[in-house]
A and B are shown apart, each in its own frame.
Chain A
Amino acid sequence: MRQEVLRADDLIVQYPGHVALNDVSLKIGESEVVAILGANGSGKSTFVRACLGLTPFESGKVQLFGTDLHEFDEWNRVGYVPQRIHDTAGIPATVWEVVESGRLSHGWLRRYNSNDREKIKHAIEVVGLKESCSYSINTLSGGQYQRVLIARALAGEPDLLFLDEPTAGVDLATQQIFTEALKHLVEGGTTVVLVSHDLGPLRTLISRAVMFREGHMEYDGSPEAEVIDRHIFHDHPHGDFPKQGEWLI
């Protein structure tokens, strides 16, 4: 068995009024590329958030790289691309400034050195935004902004990367750039956990599919096209989850 990177045992997450995650257990090994599929409200985002400690769980246990989540501190090994909220009204920040914060996981009090700058530069290049380094994120399109968020996660060089609906509402060009970037990572041995309701070009990378329905895990196995197709819903693409930020007021 490959080394266990993520392990969730009997996770239960409750929101006011309903059970969002009901007794979910999952083990993910090194270098796996797992797609977490399901309709809106099926609990797939909640699962990822619980694994990252962003949503508290009633009961159960999460381990990252063999360490209990509550004691886990190797955050430089974990990357996260949150569900996109493109807020163009905030303080301007350049593409570089946002991607730069991806290196914080390697020590948040540290001064950045040339190695950091190299990684930041590389991450921006990988997502094809080299020319836009000094643009304000407020002037970017939705797809470009999504690429910035991906570059931010790449800059941290994670061993385990969580992506929450990375391609939702993103143009095909971005989806392809994104697939290429991810392929690069996967080849380097990064474990990927990808929440999606619409895989698109990413489908080629997936080594395993997990299907959620109404808080339960319904399927866990090979990502055969017919299995995925049977489970993918296209009915209501967004809004299955409180917007990012609502939990940490």
Chain B
Amino acid sequence: MARFVKSFAIAMAATALVAAGGAHAQFYKDKRVTMLINYGAGGPTDIEGRIVAKHLPKHIPGNPTIIVKNMGGGGGMIASNFLGEVAKPDGMTFGFFTWNVLAGMIGDPGLRVGYDKFRFIAGIANPVVLYARKDTPPGLTTGADLMKASGFKGCSLNVRNTNTIQQVLALEMLGLDHRPVPGYRGLKAVEGAVLKGECQVANSSLPGWKGSISATMGNDVVPVFQLVAPDENGKIERASALADIPTFEEYYAMHKGGTPSGPKYDALRTIVDSFMAMFRTAFAAPGAPEVSVEALRTAFRSMWKDEAFLADYEKRVKNRPKQIVGEAGEKRIAALSSLDPALAQLFKDYIAKLSK
């Protein structure tokens, strides 16, 4: 009898699996799926999205066609608002975004649909490198020498961007006397400003650092530290592509002693743990069918083992992708919606201070 029950249970489980797989296979068969990218053509979000769009279909049962559509503007929020409010929640549209985590945290009026309302599919991690000009007085040979500098200028994107807030927080925590110069219209403008000596310090994502800055300004700048999200065990380790650059925590320990803590560090970690862990994110529309969300999550997991995709990605982004899929990502996003009000206020205060 026990053997019969066990066999029956196994048979039922197998049937369920086959049925689910069958449902997945049917759902996207002969379908046209739209991938919305929230920045314009040619930018890093677009390029990475198109690499994904090229390889993902063969990992989705039914091998649908993926059509990429760019919808830039509003700091990436126009596309996310569209996905949240206008796109049909039928599983046939998903977003590939560089999401605006700060907008969600401070209640930016431009973000009408919170990211916690979307169905998170997958995310690609990306650390950030803070770098400095070698001729920053008194002169830098390595990143450690930045601790001897003072009165330098740190340039960054607009005041409501994580690029600005994370840099200011990190430099203040190190006790460095610097002048923030936010407001540059794009990372290329920031790179230009550093190149021209209009400012001495800036930060950029890994693709920007490896793909552009170190190539065009490698003789003029030094990397200082990297901001990197913890792994699934909560450990903060150097990204494999940036093995020679200390993490912010290592840099802090070297020069200030101990581990960083306090409200500013909590704020910094809030940004890094969410944004850098899932720098690029794939979201399904709120209310999308569960079968479509699962099919896409399974496809992303499978694609991450596809050597053709990994090689294609690495050729262009100069880094092997590190992913987060499914509930793990949803938990991180959900945590932001229950953000400590004091933290949210801290961000708002910084934005107001930098706007003066």
The answer to whether A and B interact is no
